[in-house]
């Protein structure tokens, strides 16, 4: 008779906000981007126009009507030391909820933008084309584990990891030897 045992899950220790941030920029070959959902961040285009970021682009192509431009997702290349970066990482989640996701990638911004734009549409098993808000943290956490190896590799493309910077914990998903690797690390509360 063989016995099967469930793997022991050891909870990860909480990290201070500065430790979470340091992990994002730990690999010099990676750049840190945010995909920010305009429908979740009021006046995002105006906020980005005055933000201390490397650059930003709308993920929806072409000329957009003003209302669609305000609600659209934006790819933002973050600076490590920036008031906007700190606001996005540590305040936006608490005040706005699920604003979007962080993307760590060695790719140049325009190449990454092209890849991420390609993820905005999906095909159902019945063949129907649908819009996919993959940058919604809840959606991302649902779809990633459902991909087979080929689909996961295609979805990741030039992305090294996706990070969800939440108010209580940070979730990281990456591809390792064709397998999805994910972890959730609590955010240490200020004393």
Q: What is the DSSP letter of 146?
A: G
Residue 3 has pLDDT above 70, yes or no: no
Residue 96 lies in a domain: yes
Alpha carbons within 13 A on the beta-carbon side of 105: 24
Residue 25 φ then ψ, to 5°: -105, 20
99 occurs within a structural domain: yes
Token pair belonging to 69? 């431009």
Boundaries of domain holding 156 = 17-186
Domains in the chain: how many in total?
A: 1
Residues 120-143: pLDDT tens digits? 998 878 888 988 999 999 999 999
pLDDT band at 1 (very low <50, low <70, confident <90, very high): very low
Would you say residue 2 lies in a domain?
no
Let me know: does 152 contact 180? Beta carbons within 8 Å. Answer: yes
The answer to the question of residue 9 being in a domain is: no
pTM over 0.75: yes
Question: Looking at the domain assignment, is residue 32 inside a domain?
Answer: yes
Per-residue pLDDT reduced to its tens digit, 69-118: 999 999 999 999 999 999 999 899 888 889 999 999 999 999 999 999 99
By three-state DSSP, how is residue 29 classified? Answer: coil
Q: Looking up tokens 């005055």, which residue turns up?
A: 50
For residue 146, being part of any structural domain is answered with yes
Please check whether residue 107 lies inside any domain of the structure: yes
For residue 61, what are its two tokens? 């192509």
Q: Rounded to whole angstroms, how far apart are CA atoms 47 and 171?
A: 25
Say what the pLDDT of residue 11 is: 58
177 lies in a domain? Answer: yes
Torsion angle of C-alpha atoms 140, 141, 142, 144, degrees rounded to 10 = 70
């Amino acid at each position: 008779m063989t016995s099967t045992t469930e793997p022991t899950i050891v909870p990860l220790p909480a990290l201070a906000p500065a430790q979470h941030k340091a992990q994002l920029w730990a690999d010099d070959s990676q750049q840190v981007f945010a995909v920010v959902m305009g429908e979740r961040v009021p006046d995002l285009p105006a906020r980005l126009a005055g933000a201390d970021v490397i650059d930003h682009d709308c993920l929806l192509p072409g000329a957009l009507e003003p209302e669609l431009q305000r609600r659209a997702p934006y790819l933002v290349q973050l600076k490590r030391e920036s008031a906007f970066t700190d606001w996005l990482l540590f305040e936006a989640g608490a005040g706005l909820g699920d604003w979007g996701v962080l993307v760590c990638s060695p790719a140049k911004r325009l190449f990454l933008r092209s890849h991420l734009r390609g993820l905005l549409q999906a095909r159902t098993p019945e063949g129907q084309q649908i819009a996919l808000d993959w940058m919604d943290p809840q959606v991302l956490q649902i779809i990633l584990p459902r991909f087979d190896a080929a689909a996961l590799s295609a979805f990741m493309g030039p992305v090294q990891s996706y990070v969800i910077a939440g108010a209580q914990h940070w979730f990281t998903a990456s591809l390792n030897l064709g397998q999805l690797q994910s972890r959730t690390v609590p955010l240490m509360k200020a004393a």
